[in-house]
Structure 1
């Protein structure tokens, strides 16, 4: 489902450019925004929505998803894998608190080499992985939403309660960034696993393409554990926006022709949902246009 699948994304980007509401957001950058959008990708033929009108660094997205599944929330464990997509938020916090104009590279070096500094400034709070794997109830009991999902997929795949989410109201204030991709719901029919993922806030240029790769990787792992094939990936966006400093990049992307979607597969069966590694993922036939630079709005 490559060309027409990606075209749906490009059409959405064009609608945001043409009809988006001009809004001043918390970052101060400003956005063009639409509310309530949906895209559907058919994964049953093996193709996956890794965009081709710009290069998407799919290994970084998969590494992030694997990190979420560990339940960890420390920046160091990401940096050790050369994943830097979460640095901006603790870096901003440190700069504001210390008044030091430290570079990102030097900040990351200190996180990697200074245990005390990493403990103080390198924890991202109870973000996704904490909520997915270690949601703590008021009675102190810890709930593993992912583990429960795997078991339900195996024993009761017709259940309408196969979902997990990260919007833990009591913990929001402690998070480096409140969850954007909030809710994942799953459905099995005729031996195929489908997923609907809801994002409350969608950076259409940088965030959505990256989150789609992570979701498909998660679907592959869950399907592997439950002996299922892939069905549909349904994406629902709440506030779907382009940042004002991304508009030229978006227009450049819209000028390009989509190419055939690649395929993603697992190279081995893992014993459990906790046993996958980046080496277990392979992408075939990925031939994207060159990358497009765009700054993250923090």
Structure 2
């Protein structure tokens, strides 16, 4: 956040810069307190300011959306996305990040904080955008965020796999994000503690649903007994290129293409993570 940046310049801020930091922090606190949307918009447009390129300016919708995601203010996120559409997903200005042009971090922030409901709203906004399909794919598969941040160089899918956030991962995959991160998912599943295993298993299962062809993973064959125990014989053979994908996996893959609700609404005995282990 802008008031948390640490640099020698902070020691000699002008009165205008200090006032911008004060109002920016008040806006951050107002979103955190889940104040009504009309009040937050009044503050954003008239009362709070960022210091940008030597002068104060009002907060952009994309900057306000970051606050709404962090604090899970769903009503405010919904308003910003409905009112400003994809412009609310543009990269924040340099006052929010020390690296100009670092990309829009909204997807990564939503995944990191596991904001499934807000992420779904973002996906719907992207689906309705008028831009070419390639642009939408670039956004979904982009590595958003400052190069100094913990998420630097990671797509939202990769981050969801790393953090074992399966509901976020399913939202991204259903809406067209590239199913990257299979190697991380396998390693995460094998190394995680028992309490995290179910979430890690679901992440792996969802990646398998959206992989039309598995990437080459020659190291699986080096320890067949170890990985067969983790994956089951059928999935192991498919990932090693020794057999076609299991029929149940093919059927669930077709179902998954219709939307996340088609998978999450399945009865327990048909949930992917149960069957993939038994294949």
User: What TM-score comes out, normalization by structure 2 length?
Assistant: 0.29
Higher strand residue share: 1
Greater CA radius of gyration, 1 or 2?
Answer: 2
The structure richer in helix per residue is: 2
Please report the TM-score for the alignment, with normalisation by the length of structure 1. 0.27
Higher relative contact order (CA 8 A, sep 6+): 1
